[in-house]
Chains A and B, each alone.
Chain A
Amino acid sequence: MSERSALAARLAPLLLVGALAAALLAGLDDRLTLESADDGAARAVTAAFDAMPDDALVLVGFDPDVGTYAEIRPTVRAVLADLLNRGATLGLVSLTPDGRALAIAELARMDRSEANPRQLIDLGFLPGAEAALVAVARGINGGSQDPIRADLPSPPDLAVVIGGIDLGARSWVEQVQPRIDGLPIVAIAPTVLLPELEPYRASGQLAALIGTPRDGAAYRAQAELGRLERMVDPAAGPSPAAIIVGLLVAIGVLGQAFGSRLAAVMRAARPRDVA
């Protein structure tokens, strides 16, 4: 690698960061919308919430990763505010240490806001991954020795799974759903998990799935949060302008790599033609 190439490689990330910051500061987000034109995913979530009885109990599997939580954070907060605004009681349980750390932070945040503490049940951390999920299902079915049974006033009407890469909606579908008849599961997951979870949504094993920032933005646009609107930052969500700039840079890098390779192949082929 020449000195010029090395310097360019060193400066490229700085230029990317600078371009993203410029996109954020340019004020283009007022003219761009992130919401997906197809709001089917958002409507499915709302329909699942509408189907709950009054004063419903919702079991929230809170296991996002620290690394990917930023992507789903605005949607998660809107979902929690929506459920609380509907009068539901939320029981938060975590099966990963990451999820527990973030659940503690979100519970503290809700405690500082106008959320009614009587609507929040902290079910804590359960170790054991799949085995813990089986214990959760047994506890819901009435196993007196199993965790969470004593803390839940009744069997849940809905499960909302806020998933991450370690443990998420797939594990709930595999371990909890076969053991509890008729428990609908709504999942919120980062984009990277969409290919894994979309088949479960298509087969009906997930009642609803929000798996992209655009679906999340569509849901936030139509959710009625009432006085809990304050729990959700109106400016939350990634900047569409910055995303467009980032994608253009990514396409440029791919094009440059493909072009260099093509040029190398053509250069290699030329002497053979001459020979």
Chain B
Amino acid sequence: MSGFFGTAQADQIATWVAALATIVVLGGLLGERRVFGWSQHLLAGLTTGFLALLAITEVIVPRIVEPLVADPGGRPELWLGLLLVAAAAAVPWLPRVVAGVPLSITIGTLAAFALGGAVVGTLLPQLAATVAGREATVTDTVVGVAAAGVSGLVLIGFVHGTPRGRVVSLAAAGGRWLMLAGLGGWLGYLLFSRLVLLVDRIAFLVGDWLGLAR
């Protein structure tokens, strides 16, 4: 049960619309492409409309327009931001050196945050956690050693283009197989996750809509 809809008439209508949309999408599995295509257009349209609404009501007006109207001289960074937006919109008419500035700042900022966070929040702590040491129980110690061994083999699996002996070649092959095993495991998680979602949709049709189960 999704629990989003109550018992009022509007909720009943919403349940019917959701049920019909679900049937249309499931119909795509059976080869019904035309109505399925319409449902995709409907989703794209609703998403675009929601994004526009979100941008206007929760970003542009409260975070840019209102502060600038209230104190035009007090927020220079917002004027700078508006200037960058104007430059991005006027790309076809601006020299390449100027037109590239907004995009460069966007990509540079995103890369800096993502890279810095990955190093400080993931790489270093996970490297520290991978170092095998004496743990509270024998099982934990064995698991730690196994994790360190798997990490090492997978890293060796990425070694390319350098002369290597029989041992390193064997380790690299083992690392690649371990990577494949990991990928297989991840696909298993993906399958299970999608199956739960399909079961939820069928339960919605059978329970919320038809009122037959649960």
Q: Is the CB of B129 within 8 A of A203?
A: yes
For residues 94 through 122 of chain B, which have their beta carbon under 8 Å from a beta carbon of chain A?
Answer: 109-110, 113-114, 117-118, 120-122
| Chain B contacts for A174, CB-based, 8 A | 117-118, 120-122
**Tally of A-B residue pairs with Cβ under 8 A?**
139
Q: Does A149 contact B (CB under 8 A)?
A: no
Q: Is chain B's interface secondary structure helix, strand, loop, or mixed overall? A: helix
A124 to B55, alpha carbons, bound, how many Å?
12
| Chain A contacts for B63, CB-based, 8 A | 147
Closest A residue to B5 using CB positions: A109
Contact with B along A246-266 (1 / 0, CB 8 A): 110010000000000000000
* Closest chain A CB from B124 CB (angstroms): 10
A interface residues, how many (CB within 8 angstroms): 57
Q: Is the CB of A177 within 8 A of B121?
A: yes
Q: Assuming A147-B63, A236-B3, is B113 touching A175 (CB within 8 A)? A: yes
A124 to B193, alpha carbons, bound, how many Å?
28
Q: Which of A14, A112, A129, A178 is in CB contact (< 8 Å) with B121?
A: A178
* Closest chain B CB from A29 CB (angstroms): 8
Q: Assuming A124-B58, A130-B113, is B200 touching A71 (CB within 8 A)? A: yes
| Chain B contacts for A203, CB-based, 8 A | 125-126, 128-129
A68 to B200, alpha carbons, bound, how many Å?
10
The size bracket of the interface on B is 35 or more
A36 to B185, alpha carbons, bound, how many Å?
19
Q: Is the CB of A77 within 8 A of B3?
A: yes
Q: Which of B1, B58, B196 is in CB contact (< 8 Å) with A125?
A: B58
Q: Is the CB of A170 within 8 A of B4?
A: no
| Chain A contacts for B186, CB-based, 8 A | 192, 195
Closest A residue to B51 using CB positions: A97
* Closest chain B CB from A96 CB (angstroms): 10
Closest B residue to A205 using CB positions: B125
A71 to B31, alpha carbons, bound, how many Å?
26
Q: Is the CB of A13 within 8 A of B29?
A: yes
| Chain A contacts for B198, CB-based, 8 A | 17, 20, 246
A213 to B128, alpha carbons, bound, how many Å?
30
Q: Is the CB of A125 within 8 A of B54?
A: yes
| Chain B contacts for A178, CB-based, 8 A | 117, 120-121
Q: Is the CB of A242 within 8 A of B121?
A: no
Closest A residue to B63 using CB positions: A147
Interface centre among B50, B117, B118 (most CB of A within 10 A): B117
Q: Does A173 contact B (CB under 8 A)?
A: yes
Interface residues of B (CB under 8 A from A): 1-4, 6, 26, 29-31, 47, 50-51, 54-55, 58-59, 63, 109-110, 113-114, 117-118, 120-122, 125-126, 128-129, 182, 185-186, 189-193, 195-203, 205-207, 212-214
Across chains A and B, which 8 residue pairs bring their CB atoms closest together, nearest first? A174-B121, A174-B117, A203-B129, A13-B29, A130-B113, A70-B200, A191-B193, A192-B193
